[in-house]
Amino acid sequence: MDKAYKKLIDGNRLFALSKKFDDPEYFKKLSLGQKPDYLWIGCSDSRVPANEVTNTESGEIFVHRNIANVVVHTDFNLMSVLEYAVNVLEVKQIIVCGHYGCGGVRAAMGSGTFGLVDNWLRNIKDVYFKHNAELEAISDLDKRADRLTELNVIEQVRNLAKTMIIQNVWQAGRKIEIHGWVYGLNNGLITELNVLYDEKDDIEAIYRYKIDK
Ligand code: CO
């Protein structure tokens, strides 16, 4: 058997043992159900694991990850996660967390092709185009990518607010906040972007649905 594979199983045994050692009821309690307060939408990058970078435990965060943390309204995977998190789990906070040094964002800035993912990253090219003047004024490509990373997170926060799922919650008078963060690979720190959507007026009129209640 390939050792690299075995490493994961060995790691799992160690994980299970140490958790049980700290709290003999740990798995029994978790198996009863989940009631996470947060939905995390992050990048698939192996260096940004939601629980680890927030020092949280299993059961605390409902997680969806894709390349470059993009929210696309025709993505049934993400929309299913969002609806379930919001309406069944009743999470109170949604976090879109990008990260500096994101390969997806960097790829979207260039003209290289990488396969199917080009279609996915097209969404980020649209973000770039929307903020073309600001981004083109940044000559340092790393800094430009950092700014695009931030703008991409803000755009995805907006995309969440545009969904019927979120607007229904606000219409019903339930509180739900959507935050935008960027994680720094080089220092392990999360920066909170100045973006918070928590009511229907936060989104432009053209995106607002008339919901009869
Ligand atoms: Co990334």
Kindly indicate the confidence band of residue 3, based on its pLDDT and cuts at 50, 70 and 90.
confident
Is the pLDDT at 212 greater than 80, yes or no? no
Do both 133 and 152 map to the same domain? Answer: yes
Q: What is the band of 179 on the pLDDT scale with cuts at 50, 70, 90? A: very high
Give the pairing of strands 61-66 and 93-99: unpaired
Q: How far is the CA of 70 from the centre of ligand 1 (A)?
A: 10
- How many domains does the chain fold into? 2
From the CA of 105, how far away is ligand 1's center (Å)? 7
Order the strands of the 38-43 sheet from edge to edge.
Answer: 61-66, 38-43, 93-99, 177-183, 190-197
Q: How far is the CA of 19 from the centre of ligand 1 (A)?
A: 30
Residue 212 lies in a domain: no
Contact (CB, 8 A) for 120 and 67: yes
Distance 149 CA to ligand 1 centre (A): 9
Is there a single domain that holds both residue 73 and residue 13?
A: no
Query: Is residue 20 in some structural domain?
Result: yes
Asked, for residue 213, whether it belongs to a domain, the answer is: no
Res 213 pLDDT > 90: no
Confidence of residue 1 (pLDDT cuts 50, 70, 90): low
DSSP 87: I
Specify if 147 maps to a domain.
yes
Q: Is residue 101 part of a domain?
A: yes
156 with 101, same domain: the answer is yes
Q: Are 41 and 94 in contact (CB under 8 A)?
A: yes
Residues 28 and 45 in one domain: no
Q: Which residues are close to ligand 1, an ion, with C-beta < 5 A?
A: 43, 45, 102, 104
Taking every pair of C-alpha atoms in the chain, what is the biggest distance, in angstroms?
59
Asked, for residue 100, whether it belongs to a domain, the answer is yes
Same domain, 69 and 1: no
Q: Which residues are catalytic?
A: 43, 45, 47, 99, 102
Query: Are 18 and 105 within one domain?
Result: no
**pLDDT tens per residue across span 109-166:** 999 999 999 999 999 999 999 999 999 999 999 999 999 999 999 999 999 999 999 9
Residues 9 and 68 in one domain: no
Q: Kindly state whether residues 28 and 104 are assigned to the same domain.
A: no
Same domain (yes/no): 61, 24 = no
Residues 57 and 11 in one domain: no
Decide if 76 is inside a domain: yes
Cα–ligand 1 centroid distance for 59 (angstroms) = 24
pTM of the model: 0.95
**One domain for residues 76 and 163:** yes
Each residue's pLDDT tens digit, 54-112: 999 999 999 999 999 999 999 999 999 999 999 999 999 999 999 999 999 999 999 99
User: Do 12 and 77 reside in the same domain of the chain?
Assistant: no
CATH number at residue 192: 3.40.1050.10
Report CA(104)–ligand 1 centroid distance (Å). Answer: 5
Q: Which domain holds residue 5?
A: 1-32
Looking at the DSSP assignment, which residues form a beta bridge with residue 179? 95, 196
